[in-house]
Amino acid sequence: MEFFNTLSAIANNRSNGVPPSDNEYAISSFSQLTDELSHNSEGRLVTMNNGHLLMVYQKNTQFHHTSATCHLVSRTSTDEGNTWSSESVVFSDNYDDRNHLVGVLPNGNVIVVFRRKGKDTGYVISQDNAGSWGSYTVFLNESTPNQPFGKFLTRGADVYFVVQYYTESVYETRLYKSLDNFATLPTFTVIVSDTTKDYDEPFLEDIDNGRSILIFRNQVHTQYNSTDGLNFTLKGTMNNIWSDMYKNSPGVPVWLEYIPESGRLLVLATYRFSAITDANNDAEFRVYSASAQEAFDNSYTLLDSAVRPMPNEVSFYGYPSITRISQFNYAGVITDRRAADETIPFSGSNEFAALYIFNI
């Protein structure tokens, strides 16, 4: 499936190792990847050690947003996302398998951490570039709701990822760490604990000089900063991501991608009204940029925007994900949705969702 529309001059500069200027980061046209027969959502992309792309996403053939019929499937691409394989099952059982993140471990194995809603949170590992998957390993029982989110970060030989943990009195953000490629269960440290803020779907990214940024999905994209990747302080309850429209949006999760060669941080975010309204028809997908210091100062510059791929009254699903395919070039995936049966009202049990691929 062809979807690259990068201008040749920009592409030549990038291939010659010249970092793009901010005005050269552009979103290509969208191309639908998944079928019309199910709810396909929240694609997560990673580049495996063999150079192939792996996409893992949720699939529900009954058009339910959440249900026990939701399972995780994957597709791979051997040509930087131009064409994709047919679907393969990553994990399927009698629970609602969701809230997944995908990564490549230092030893080359591929890992998918996910939640079996109402049951537990664990992971499966592939030793053959997603050709097959090992047994499911639990590291967190769901006596209290929790949600893994974001992406894996590698610091030396150690691997880190974030889980948001909810109790009746506190929102707790846990930073999990594996020292041995998940041969033993990961351990965690609490990096944010708050009793007053509705924190959800945190995204953690490492930037320069050991610093890290954590941005939550909530109405104002609350940001925490760290100078050592472990100890976090509140930077602000609002940055300028979607500051022009945030009062009408429930907040949607971001994707953060730091580019060490240029010292720039890309921020991908979508906008949506929570109500079913014509105002959603023109909801946008945006790419912001900041230097590491600008990001630490909570200030971002809008680079490019694109109208959602499936314009309709139902809110933009969102959940962008990108992976590097060559120096300064990225393949991406995003989800959009509408009513599966448009003759009846939209609901969580009448939700068609599709994955769309693009490049930056």
Q: Per-residue pLDDT tens for 89-126?
A: 999 999 999 999 999 999 999 999 999 999 999 999 99
Residues 6+ apart with CB under 8 A from 321: 43, 44, 45, 255, 332, 333, 334
Helix (H, G, I), strand (E, B) or coil at 11: helix
Spatial contact of 90 and 56, defined as CB atoms under 8 Å apart: yes
Burial of 55 (0-12, 13-18, 19+ CB in 10 A): buried
Taking the C-alpha atoms of residue 256 and residue 82, their distance in angstroms, rounded to an integer, is 23
Tens of pLDDT, residues 212-236: 999 998 767 889 999 999 999 999 8
Full set of structural domains in the chain with CATH:
8-359 (2.120.10.10)
Strand segments, DSSP code E, in 78-145 are: 88-91, 96-104, 110-117, 120-126, 137-141
Residues 6+ apart with CB under 8 A from 287: 25, 27, 266, 267, 268, 302, 303, 304, 305, 360
Measured from the Cβ of residue 339, the count of other Cβ atoms closer than 10 Å reads: 18
Taking the C-alpha atoms of residue 217 and residue 150, their distance in angstroms, rounded to an integer, is 11
Three-state SS letters, 152-184? EEEECCEEEEEEEEECCCCEEEEEEEECCCCCC
The pTM of this model reads: 0.93
pLDDT band at 266 (very low <50, low <70, confident <90, very high): very high
Beta bridge partners of 81: none
Task: Give the model's pLDDT for residue 14.
Answer: 53
Whether the predicted pLDDT of 27 surpasses 90: yes
Residues 6+ apart with CB under 8 A from 79: none
Task: Give the model's pLDDT for residue 222.
Answer: 87
Whether the predicted pLDDT of 13 surpasses 60: no
**18-26 long-range contacts, CB within 8 A, separation 24+:** 19/259, 19/261, 19/262, 19/264, 19/328, 20/262, 20/328, 22/264, 22/289, 22/301, 22/303, 23/303, 25/266, 25/287, 25/289, 25/303, 25/304, 25/360, 26/303, 26/304, 26/360
Q: Pick the closest to residue 150 from 322, 357, 351 (CA basis).
A: 322
DSSP state string for 127-147: SSTTSS----EEEEETTS-EE
Task: Give the model's pLDDT for residue 245.
Answer: 63
Residue labelled with tokens 């699903």: 317
Taking the C-alpha atoms of residue 44 and residue 39, their distance in angstroms, rounded to an integer, is 15
Say what percent of the chain tops pLDDT 70. 91
Task: Give the model's pLDDT for residue 12.
Answer: 44
Helix (H) or strand (E) segment spanning residue 12:
helix 8-15
Q: Give the residue with greater pLDDT, 168 vs 206.
A: 206
Quickly list H helices, 212-360.
292-296
Of 6-20, 149-163, 261-275, 293-307, the one with minimum mean pLDDT is 6-20
Rounded average pLDDT over 324-350: 94
Rounded average pLDDT over 18-47: 88
Say what percent of the chain tops pLDDT 90. 73
Q: Give the residue with greater pLDDT, 302 vs 138.
A: 138
pLDDT band at 169 (very low <50, low <70, confident <90, very high): confident
Taking the C-alpha atoms of residue 9 and residue 15, their distance in angstroms, rounded to an integer, is 10
Most distant CA pair in the chain, distance: 55
pLDDT band at 273 (very low <50, low <70, confident <90, very high): confident
Taking the C-alpha atoms of residue 62 and residue 74, their distance in angstroms, rounded to an integer, is 18
